[in-house]
Structure 1
Amino acid sequence: MSTAVATPTVPAAAARPAALSPAPASMSRLFLVCVVLAICIWGGNWPVMKFGSQFIPPLWFAASRFLSAAILSFVIAVVLGKLRLPTRQEWPVVVGVGVLQMGLFTALVTGALHFVMPGRASLIAYATSIWVVPGAALVLKQKLSPQQSLATVCSYAGMAVIVLPALLHADLHSMIGYLMLGVASLSWAMNILQIKMSPGVKLDFALLPWQTLVAALPLSLLALAVDGAPSFLADPHAWGVIAYTGPLATALTFLIVLQMTQRLSPVTVSVCMLGVPVVGLTLSSLVFGERLSSDLVLGMGLLCLGLVLPALPSLGLRRLATKG
């Protein structure tokens, strides 16, 4: 987790009317490979987090991820000559992304993996946009189009299909995990709304080092107070997990996703990101034997439909339907 500066812009864009989205730019073969690579890395991050949660405490897991990502992003920013202090207008968004989307979201998701399997968890966590659409209507006073309303219904139906059967057969242990995922999803949604209320702030790479640092510092202090010294670092497996989730799945992958948000339309980016939980679920079924039950497949299909519906006009499907 899955999960980033450009990341919040993805589900936020999904709530945006497709008519306002610019036309998708063409993708070179190399850039397309980079996009697929980013999706696979983020999807693979879910089983990696599940594996790491067996020997790394949740708070230290989240803290080490963003500490390593902060160090790498600061180094890259210096090398590229892009390191600068955020402006007064940018600081609230930097803090919001660092605390809500990065720190709190990741800590809750990592903790939830102690209670639930990563495949179902990734689907719930990446369904954040279902809170953004009604939230935009209530907080930002944005009127929903008929397609957005239908997309919201499909998304909520998908969540119900995924969560309700599991809740009916869940014990207290699993219920805690689902509750943590729900709060994590809400945390991400709150940050998305904050970003949409700050249109003058551009989420470029120059802000990434500070956002990861804002996430890393309180998580490290909290982890030190709750779990004590990071004794897990004596385990050689921990270094491999941290290397994947921090520098690879956070810092470097965000470089690709930032390019996606700059070069492609928001709708295209949101559709591309649907591949993340699909990869996570597939790998989880292979590595941990998580069964692809009918409710999981149906729920995933409804969630995908809910996220794709706003893109239909931009894809020209309405004109095709009219001609037919």
Structure 2
Amino acid sequence: MSTAIAAPARSASTPSSRPQPMSRLFLVCVVLAICIWGGNWPVMKFGSQFIPPLWFAASRFLSAAILSFIIAAALGKLRLPTRQEWPVVAGVGVLQMGLFTALVTGALHFVMPGRASLIAYATSIWVVPGAALVLKHKLSTQQSLATVCSYAGMAVIVLPALLHADMHSMIGYLMLSAASLSWAMNILQIKMTPGVKLDFDLLPWQTLVAAVPLCVLALLVDGAPTFLADPHSWGVIAYTGPLATALTFLIVLQMTQRLSPVTVSVCMLGVPVVGLTLSSLVFGEKLSADLLLGMGLLCLGLVLPALPSLSLRRVLSKA
């Protein structure tokens, strides 16, 4: 599994901020990750009806950790992270996995999954200024156009919901915004640590770092995992854990390391496009004109980073 999506070997001196070209296989893996995570939103909303939020997040990463350790041991890749790797392992486990998922699953008790998925994956709101200030990252023509389209799409979709939100919904939106910030912080942390390769070797420890505190909190807050007596919970955990975590996080972490932070944050907006579409089919969340326009802008922003390099003069001369 890891060999299919592993990034090409490179020396630690190579700047992590230099964007890597997308091969066809890697692009297929990115699309697969986006579709799996997009489908995860309706699954999480369904599972939130009978699984408490903290146990939902804990069971997701505990199942992914168990599977990852078994596969790593079978492949002979099970090892302890080095001293240089532990900060990144902790950052991914705490910020991108544990905190993000706990906030998201909690927010789904307050809002519908469609628009909610957009707010949670709107990391570009934080990553674009963060990359400019912290990493001194300059946007290419495609990144600039993609960022404008993604910001416009987010505004078209989110603002109407925020303007008409009651206090109950606003709690959910605030939790989703905090989740988005948490992930954005981890993206920047990874880009600031060029000497660490995020291959399958580290995935068991990342999921374990996320699972342990979540399990402790779940026991203290929600009590024993009585939801396991419900047969529906096992199907939900099977999707959210091994599939939407063990496999998908590996692809996304490779994206974070290989591509620029702005490109990663824009690509992740494909997740809510899938989530919105599936939410409309499963939960009857209406695809209004603002949703369709916003999704169109997001799709345009999603496609732009994968196109061949554009010259700004050439674009302006054809305008």
Normalising by structure 1, we get a TM-score of: 0.83
Q: Are 1:23 and 2:16 an aligned pair?
A: no
Q: Which residue of 1 aligns with 2:66?
A: 71
The superposition leaves residues 148-178 of structure 1 with CA deviations (integer Å, 9 ceiling, x where unpaired) of 4554444333322222211121111111111
Match in the other structure for 1:3: none
Match of 1:276 among 247, 271, 277: 271
Are 1:123 and 1:300, in contact at CA under 8 Å, matched by a contact in 2? no
Contact 2:187 2:256 in 1 (8 A): no
Q: Is contact 1:271-1:308 (8 Å) kept?
A: no
What residue number does 1:194 align with? 189
**How many residues are aligned here?**
304
1:99 and 2:94 are equivalent in the alignment: yes
2:116 counterpart letter in structure 1: A
> How far off its partner does 1:188 sit?
0.4
Q: 1:258 deviation in Å?
A: 6.4
Q: Provide the residue aligned with 1:229 in structure 2.
A: 224
- Once the two structures are TM-superposed, the CA of residue 72 in structure 1 deviates from its matched residue by 0.1
Q: 1:239 aligns with which of 234, 240, 254?
A: 234
Deviation at 1:268? 8.5
3-state SS, counterpart of residue 170 of structure 1: coil
CA contact (8 A) 1:312 1:318 kept: no
Q: Counterparts of 2:62 and 2:25 in 1: how far apart (Å)?
A: 32
Equivalence for 1:53: 48
Q: Percent identity?
A: 87
Partner of 1:172: 167
CA RMSD, aligned part only? 3.0
Q: Is the 8 A contact 1:43 1:279 kept in 2?
A: yes
Tell me, in whole angstroms, the C-alpha distance in 2 between the residues paired with 1:43 and 1:55.
Answer: 21
Q: 1:26 to 1:239 in 2, by over 3 A?
A: closer
- Could you list the runs of 5+ residues in structure 1 that have no partner in the other structure? 1-5, 7-15
> Which piece of structure 1 moves more, 153-162 or 107-116?
153-162
The CA deviation at 1:181 is 0.7
* Structure 2 CA distance for aligned equivalents of residues 140 and 133 of structure 1: 10
Q: Is the 8 A contact 1:39 1:275 kept in 2?
A: yes
Range moving further from structure 2, 292-301 or 49-58: 292-301
The amino acid across from 1:207 in the alignment is L
Work out the CA distance in 2 between the residues paired with 1:155 and 1:45.
21
Q: In the TM superposition, what are the counterparts of 1:258-269 in structure 2 within 5 Å? A: none
1:300 to 292, 295, 317: 295
Report the alpha carbon displacement of residue 97 of structure 1 after superposing the two structures with TM: 0.5
Q: Give 5+ residue unaligned stretches, structure 2.
A: 1-5, 7-15
1:209 aligned residue = 204
Deviation for aligned residue 1:86: 0.6
The CA distance in 2 between the partners of 1:105 and 1:140, in whole Å, is 23
1:161 aligns with 2:148: no
Change (3 A) 1:65 1:156: same
Out of 61, 71, 75, which is 1:80 matched to?
Answer: 75
Q: Distance in 2 between matches of 1:222 and 1:64?
A: 12
